[in-house]
A and B are shown apart, each in its own frame.
Chain A
Amino acid sequence: MKNDNIHHAEAAAAFLQDREQARWHDSAIWWVRQKRDMQAKQLPEWEQLRALAQQIKAHTLSRLDDYLLQFQANAEKNGVTVHWAADADEHNRIVQGILAAEGVKKLVKSKSMLTEECGLNPYLEQHGIEVIDTDLGERIVQLRQEPPSHIVMPAIHLKKEQISELFHRELGTEAGNNDPTYLTHAARANLREHFLTADAGLTGVNFAIAETGGVVVCTNEGNADLGTALPPIHIASMGLEKIIPRLEHLGVFTRLLARSAIGSPITTYTSHFHRARPGGQMHIVIVDNGRSDILGNDDFYQSLRCIRCGACMNTCPVYRRSTGHSYSYIIPGPIGSTLGPSRDIKKHGSMAFACTTCGSCSNVCPVKINLHEQLVLQRKRAFDAGTLKPAKKMGLLAMRFLTQHPSLMDSGGKVMRKVVPIVPESLTRHSAWSRPGRALPEMPEQSFKEMWQARQKDKKA
């Protein structure tokens, strides 16, 4: 779980203290974005594929209740038990109830942002159940007792030296051996033991198919598969927006997901679960936790189309330079910055400003969510809710005053272009322009308006 009261700008400033680490983080994630581009370019139909995905999801949201009922009926026909949870607390109680009824001591979990959102791990631990996160990145952050910093690459904020030290302490690997292959295989051996001795497995859900009543889970590691093939109980937790109408629609979504997420044509494993293994049980928990409210909000309901690929964070210039830990909501980056404020604007107001409004997120999103437009609208809500720090609020108020008084804006700009170049350094020392990595821009001779007018005149001439 995340600490309360993370303020994006402050947390990001702290992260940027380590310049080398910050640069690495930025370029490593940018490389994932480039791999995504290479995949997208290989498919002439890429843009049409995005449009199909958008339409399928938009259609589904317009009759979500029908599709959920159809899904439930078909899942029950397959012998699966379906549960409904209004909020995080009810989800946690349902899961704990299933586990307690069977005397489960150890649960192996594959990646699920929903259980992070619900705070499932601490809840189960309080009830005496050992929870093992099995995705390598998730296991690393679990051992470090911190939240994931990215929804697809949970440990992207860490250097291999830190992981080596952690594994040396927790798993007994050689001190100072930082080789990623060595470390990965050490974790593999350790987690195999957990898979073989677990009493139950829990997975997230990438897609839930109304037509067949089954769920699809995509991983590269194979942890969701081992966690559900070995123990007799499989619990799948899903947000209610994960529904797609038909099996054939996977022919659109499986083409987009991994290409957008990590720049691979597909994940190693795309597993379809429709029944319990012989002698076992399968449960699906459908979770609302605020989603049905978002559905009713004209400005923000489109965010429920999200398939959690993470492409919007990989492309985001602010995310790459601030890490997921600088965002107060459990999901960081552009999509988190609309979902978090939708949920609680007082708590997550600062996230709406972790954005340059460049629009790159909306351009890469495989389901074409209007992310940057939503962030602008969330800013307004953050302002109205009074969540802004005083300096930010004053700045915005001054800007609003100026934009409403064009002649003041013009003359103010004129003065600024003359004065700024001769301002002594001692005066800017404590302003935003003295921070590392920033410099006062060169002042142009003319304002944009003057240049525009001159250009228009030239054109006419």
Chain B
Amino acid sequence: MSSQANILARLRQNRPQGPALPDIDAVPFITFDDKFDAFRTLVRNLGGDAVQLADGDSVLSVVQQRWPQHGRLVDLTVAGHEESPSPHAWHDVDVAIVPGELAVAESAAVWVSHADNQWRSIYFLTQKLVLVVPRDAIVDTMRDAYRRIAIREQGFGGFISGSSRTADIEQSLVMGAHGAMAALVIFV
């Protein structure tokens, strides 16, 4: 017998009793009066920041103001944006501006899954990550978020919350472990 058949046979034979699947919507989860405010307070503790774009302002000008001396900038939110011949060729990106589909107030997480983006490496190679999220696409909890996301054709999607971090050396929190050193979420 193959290992698969063996394993499955043993699992079938050893099945314990178990309950039915619970209705996860039966329990009320936390809600926030001001979701943006909850998001911003949290993301500031996680190596990031969040702003609401003012009328007449542009994403690019917010980015320029924040990092006037920035290096290579790639903007995936514009149509016909630049493409890279390989995932490795994004390695010197300093600022990446990417579309975020949905934001979650309880965790300061943003869902990224951009059908128009061939190499997801840019989310993680860039030094500074700018996530652009529609103002009304913000939900209370992860449960609400999973109701609204879809696993797309390109097969990758992820929540990103703040900047890359580690506390592996004596529990001292350091921003910029492997991924972005800074994260900015702009609600438009």
Chain A interface residues toward B at CB < 8 A: 28, 31-32, 42-45, 48-49, 51-52, 55-56, 58-65, 68-69, 78, 84-86, 90, 134-137, 140, 153-156, 158-160, 163, 180-181, 183-185, 188, 191-192, 195-196, 212, 214, 220-223, 225-226, 229-230, 240, 245, 247-252, 254-255, 262, 264-278, 286, 288, 292-293, 295-296, 298, 301
A-B complex: 5 closest residue pairs judged by Cβ atoms: A62-B18, A275-B155, A222-B179, A296-B14, A251-B143
Contact residues of B: prevailing secondary structure: loop
Contact residues of A: prevailing secondary structure: helix
**In the assembled complex, which residues on chain A have CB atoms less than 8 Å from the CB atom of B163?**
268
**A43, A154, A286, A301: the one within 8 Å of B30 (CB):** A43
Whether B142 contacts A240 by the Cβ 8 Å rule is: no
Whether A68 contacts B8 by the Cβ 8 Å rule is: yes
Min distance, Cβ A374 to any Cβ of chain B, angstroms: 14
Whether B19 contacts A78 by the Cβ 8 Å rule is: no
Interface residues of B in 130-188 (CB under 8 A from A): 141-147, 151, 154-172, 174, 176-180
Knowing A184-B176, A252-B143, A269-B179 touch, does A28 contact B156 (C-beta < 8 A)? no
**In the assembled complex, which residues on chain B have CB atoms less than 8 Å from the CB atom of A271?**
156-159
Whether B179 contacts A265 by the Cβ 8 Å rule is: no
Whether A188 contacts B176 by the Cβ 8 Å rule is: yes
**In the assembled complex, which residues on chain A have CB atoms less than 8 Å from the CB atom of B147?**
248, 251
24 interchain pairs, CB-CB under 8 A? A56-B24, A59-B18, A62-B16, A62-B19, A65-B8, A84-B7, A85-B3, A86-B3, A134-B178, A160-B169, A181-B172, A183-B169, A184-B168, A185-B174, A185-B176, A188-B178, A220-B177, A221-B177, A226-B124, A226-B125, A248-B24, A268-B164, A270-B158, A292-B11
Closest residue of A by beta carbon distance from B164:
A222
Whether A223 contacts B155 by the Cβ 8 Å rule is: no
Min distance, Cβ A328 to any Cβ of chain B, angstroms: 24
- Give 19 new A-B contacts, CB below 8 A, not counting A64-B11, A183-B169: A43-B29, A52-B22, A58-B19, A65-B8, A136-B166, A137-B166, A154-B168, A155-B169, A180-B174, A188-B178, A221-B178, A225-B158, A250-B146, A252-B143, A255-B142, A262-B167, A268-B160, A268-B163, A298-B16
Asked whether any CB of chain A lies closer than 8 Å to the CB of B2, the reply is yes
Min distance, Cβ B27 to any Cβ of chain A, angstroms: 4
